[in-house]
Structure 1
Amino acid sequence: MKYSSKIICIVCVFLFCNQCNHNPVDTDSAKNTDLSLELLWQYPQEEAIFAEIAVVGDTLYVADSKKLAMLNTSGEILATFDLIKGPGFGKLIIDGDQICFGTSAHRGLNTAFLYLLDRHTLQPVWFKSEIAWAASPCVDENTVYYAGLNEVKALDRATGAEKWSRVTGGRTAYNPVREDNRLYFLTAAFRSDGFLYCLDAESGQIVFQDTLHDIESNGQFGGSVAGLTLSEDKIYVSSENRYFYCFNKQDGSLLWKFLGDSPLETTPALSDGIVYTGSLNRTSYALDAETGALLWSHQDDGSLKNDSPQFYKDYVMFVSSGILFYDKQTGYFYGDIGEKRGYGAWTATLTLDGHIYARTYDLHDGHKGYFSAFKLIEKEK
């Protein structure tokens, strides 16, 4: 039997679009609510910096290519620290009275830096250089861990002295996670496999290692440039080969995987039995955290990259080139609330009291960038 190529094409397009906008359920309460942003204050910012913004109580920390700044939530600059070289990279890790973060060397610089500072004064405890590509850290009570290009190291938190090091395969583009005496992190490589690593945090010995394959038909990289997320017994991983993976946290065995529509570079987020991620093809996904079943998806403008989805009340916020809000259970789309005010976004942090601190740019003049503070406004239609 011969089939019309036109019919086959229509069916393929239907199936693809059905995954991109998968049955979000409209609820009356969601449909009757309008979300918008009230601008509280902003500072001009010349560069597109993707390092995340940290919020602790009423204090903000934000890094660009020149400084780390500490501000209060009214926008008053309390202190600054001059970076030696390179833009801030990944998450700012705040633990107790200290802040730890890395910079990148990928803008023509020959080294990345790793800093440990007093978070109240921004005075340095110590810093490290001669780090290839970038430094992505995490900390525990006595140790600073960082992963970069083909290596992971553990340093004494008090002195910065090396405790152990291990060669890895590929580059780590997001912060490791330390839990229950284990260190978990991901690597990626161009046209080569990347890996999920689980190490003994005290010795650096490998507990298990899973391959995140380079699949040429699915992308240019193997592995992951996102961060991983842990639950009580699972590891959730977004990958460059378009698959979203769920592994057993104890032994690294694969529990399930879900195929996205393009490389997945969004660090997963978990809430109420649902795990959220996003793709470079502009698609936000909500999956059942136990089974991997697709609950809802939605395609909008702008690739979804490193920013992890964030939660406030019954909303989930994704950051692409905009600030996207959904009902986290049903997938009802409230819109790009940044676009409503004329702003795009490079990165944004949503707080528990409904404030959003973001690196934004003017949609009508992309050369005008800002560090902006907003309040989320909810109104009945």
Structure 2
Amino acid sequence: MRKAIKAAVARAISAPLTLETLQIEDPRAGEVRVSIIASGICHTDIAMRDQVFAVPHPIVLGHEGAGVVESVGADVVHFSPGDHVVMSYSSCGRCSYCKQAETAYCNFFFELNFKGARLDGTGAFDAGPDGIHSHFFGQSSFAEYSVCAVRNLIRVPKDIPLELLAPLGCGVMTGAGSIMHALKVRVGESIAVFGAGSVGLSAVMAARVVGATQIIAVDVNDARLQMALELGATHVINPHNEEPASAIKGMLPEGVNFALDTTSRPETITAAISALSSRGSCGLVGVSPPDDRISIAPMEMVSFGKKLQGIVEGEVVPSVFIPQLIELYRQGRFPFDRLIRFYPFEEVNQAIYDSETGRAIKAVIRMEH
């Protein structure tokens, strides 16, 4: 039966989300309804609020949800009411990329995650003439409940608080996965991480786990640079004080084997490429306006065999990778909980503001059922 829920609705560019009462439908075949316990706030949520991409408004955003399965639809056999789950991005499971376990590059990734509806155009909310859109990243977790496909879900242990696990579904997974899976950083190699937010700091922690011996964090926020040192960075650079590429070459004359840009700022990406060694690789994970451009010297790329690589969601399969991160957390080797600051659901706009201004590294809103 339909359920009345509270949700945060994005109705206008750069405007505060509005807390509203909506009706959410029962799960259909292959879907579950999840009682959301917490949801991380990602800069992608902010970008979609501001329609950096053509995500339809009004819409319920949120794509780092964690909660408890409340009910299941027909044909659902792998999840049951009471299961603890983390929610991640959606994929079709049928296209050539999904069949090769490259779900982040699903042929239907945009439609499933940014269209604001199921593939058939239907939504989860009965909001009258407003037509409030759902299924952002397949979940729309800025709400007390979410209806999503089973492919969005990862079952997690019940002995770890769900509010801690919520950020694993996107930002933390992206940073760690970029190091471990996409770039494949190995023991003894070097990396510079540009941007020490939740994605960048997750990358720093992952670089330490895999055994990188030089881990350089670059950010304009000294407090975040201090956090980077505590989490595994061997060196830090504040661009307000020194030019990053020159500073990196001062430490490592040949340059770094890898660079990861989390900022999507063209000038920062240029610096990251300049800091690479011969045969070095630079990964890009940031979200930027479609008309942003970067300046690359082809001779530099060709002469030194440098590589530039776009990375979506760390190129991981969430159902495999998130349990691995949880085990690393249990062992004390991946303390992502240090990034988190909690807010009650009613303060979602404050949480977003603190994320935008850098006051919070990873803001997580908690629901009260």
Greater per-residue helix proportion = 2
TM-score (norm 1): 0.28
Greater per-residue strand proportion = 1
